[in-house]
Copies of this chain bind each other. A is one copy, B any other.
């Protein structure tokens, strides 16, 4: 085949056959990322950074609406500071990149590149907090972090990644727990209503807890291969970090007390979940709220009739002023080639205008979320109606992508009635396996050793008196089990 459109598509393997190969191919072909000469690190190219900017915009607005402010803390952490919280050190030491030289000089104390910032932020909070009047402190940081890592999978597993980390300090355990759950719900809301990725939100088991936390909560999405993807975490740190870093305050009752702290983070991993959840064999399908370009105009030029280019430019300018994110693709390439490229990039709406459309005052509007041949994929509309049609269309695409993903999650959330069935479903990656569970570390370790699955999140026990499906001990909670990324 010499048709370039077909060539581009051919380079992506079918999603159903090999999700992993499809995923890597689409991340590269849609120019979201490039591999770099730095082991474990990718470059986030403009198409990928556009997704990150939209994640930032929506999440940052939610942080500010819940009273948080942004700040920035140092990248480098002296080794002696890192060592103060024992569990935390043990958890992170194997992943730390160490700076040992500055210029020609060897340092007397090594500096860690932050794998996360509890340590440096806790140290500063200890300086800033004196009285209950100084609490709560509600701060977020957008930052890069480094965790030593040999594998490289765009967004999912890289040595350096971009994220946000919220760090708060409170006067009571109740307030800290409320904050932890509030931010968990902000993440759920963002995942479902912006990234269109349905998730289960809940408490993690002790095995899956953040090093140094009292409780860890997370949101968990289900990928098309039946593996779960942890998309954000929110930690109730109790007084553990306050004790280690000496965050004390004089309370209303004049007593000096340790503060209660929380931390919570979402990284560019969320983009990986979004890509895998929605993409198809033609490439990305980006939910409109996350799309750097909501609609692309493709003018069709025939036998030197270039009027469509001017019409597209004019329409794009009008829509741009009205707040839509649009682009005109007037490059000297075949329309079919352009269609494939923009489908690959996942732009929600394509608007084709040719000479006959110019005569008729119409445009062909094509939805990226619908399959080829679906009668709702294309419609011819009056050009004048475009500004009125687009918002409803974008909204419908957003909802359709969520609905499809939600249907997948629901149809792949499955009970198991016996130990054998449960183990088999875990091994087969049947989805989120939902069982009454004992919440015992040994049971979880057995399941993991024999099936590769772990608890994703837990919730209140559905029926009193139930036995753990995995081991037969009395059940304490309901838990979703799955293999995970």
Contact = CB atoms under 8 A, between A and B. Distances in A.
Given A37-B78, A37-B123, A113 B99 contact: yes
A50 to B, nearest CB: 7
Interface stretch (A65-73, A387-395, A405-413): A65-73
A74 to B, nearest CB: 4
A46 interface: yes
Interface string A103-133: 1110000110100000010011001100000
A7 interface: no
Nearest to A141: B49
B146 A75 contact: yes
Given A53-B70, A69-B46, A103-B96, A76 B41 contact: yes
A81 interface: yes
A43 interface: yes
A77 interface: yes
Given A38-B76, A74-B41, A99 B98 contact: yes
Nearest to A60: B53
A151 to B, nearest CB: 13
A200 B391 CA distance: 46
Contacts of A481: none
A101 interface: yes
A144 B73 CA distance: 11
A43 B139 CA distance: 12
A44 interface: yes
A44 B72 contact: yes
A465 interface: no
A160 B46 CA distance: 25
Contacts of A45: 71
A65 to B, nearest CB: 12
Contacts of A304: none
A36 interface: yes
Range class of the A interface residue count: 35 or more
Contacts of A110: 101
Nearest to A73: B43
A339 interface: no
B102 A99 contact: no
Contact of A76 (B72, B111, B160): B160
Interface in A145-202: 146, 148, 159-160, 162
B103 A36 contact: no
B124 A34 contact: yes
Contacts of A44: 71-73
A36 B93 contact: no
Contacts of A144: 75, 143-144
A430 to B, nearest CB: 35
Interface of A: 34, 36-38, 41-46, 48-50, 52-53, 69-78, 81, 93-105, 110-111, 113, 120, 123-124, 127-128, 139, 143-144, 146, 148, 159-160, 162
* List of 9 A-B pairs having minimum Cβ-Cβ separation, nearest first: A46-B69, A41-B74, A102-B148, A44-B72, A98-B101, A38-B74, A94-B103, A103-B148, A100-B100
16 contacts: A37-B120, A38-B78, A41-B75, A41-B76, A43-B71, A43-B73, A43-B74, A43-B124, A49-B71, A50-B69, A50-B70, A95-B103, A97-B99, A97-B101, A102-B148, A143-B144
